[in-house]
Structure formats: C-alpha cells, structure tokens
C-alpha cells in the first residue's frame, strides 16, 4: 500500500487544521463478490481482486466517516478492506 500513498496525497484532501472530519461517500459498483487472487484472470468473475481491495482500503483510510453504496448480499469483498482497516477481527 505504500506505493499508493503519494498518488493518493495528490487527490485526497489533507486532514482539517482544527476540529472537523473528512467524510466520504463511495459507490463501489456491484461491491460483493471477490476473485481470491492478486491479479484477476481474464475470464474470472467477479473482476475485483485482493489488489483492488487494498487500494480501496488505502483510500477509505484517509477519511473519518465513510458511506459505501452498492454493497451486495455477498459481503466477502467488503470484509477484506474492513480487516485491513482494523474494523473486523
């Protein structure tokens, strides 16, 4: 995740100087299933993989409050970034 920090610094706002919170709302299109690999094979479904989930976690980590939209019935893909962020044991 360290290699993504500098590019994220360029697009995600810095923390507020005083009291305040950074709030994000994310629409993670069809966020449910997961291909359990670091790179998704061409014919795999779903297309989202572990690398994608680490990038999502790196972005979410920069906010204090996050709303995630389009989460499907299968929560497998959501659980991985939550583990990285320390929200799930």
Q: Quick check: is 37 in a domain? A: yes
Q: Give strand pairing partners of 65.
A: 23
In-domain check, residue 14: no
pTM of the model: 0.77
Average pLDDT per consecutive 10 residues, the chain (89 residues; last block may be shorter): 78 79 83 86 89 87 87 79 78
pLDDT for 31: 75
CA 4, CA 16: separation in Å to the nearest integer?
21
pLDDT of residue 89: 53
Q: What's the number of domains the chain is made of?
A: 1
Residue 38 inside a domain? The answer is: yes
Report yes or no on 79 lying in a domain.
Answer: yes
> Would you mind telling me the total number of residues written for the chain in this entry?
89
- Considering the domain boundaries, does residue 8 fall inside one? no
Expressed as residue numbers, the domain containing 48 is 21-85
Q: Identify whether 58 is part of a domain.
A: yes
């Amino acid at each position: 995740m360290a290699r993504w920090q500098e590019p994220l610094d360029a697009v995600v706002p810095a923390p507020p100087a005083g009291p305040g919170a950074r709030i994000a709302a994310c629409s993670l299109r069809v966020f449910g299933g997961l291909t359990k690999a670091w790179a998704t094979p061409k014919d795999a479904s779903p297309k989202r993989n572990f690398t994608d989930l680490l990038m999502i976690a790196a972005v979410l980590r920069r906010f204090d409050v996050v709303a995630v939209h389009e989460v499907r019935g299968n929560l497998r893909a959501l659980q991985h970034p939550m583990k990285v962020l320390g929200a799930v044991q």
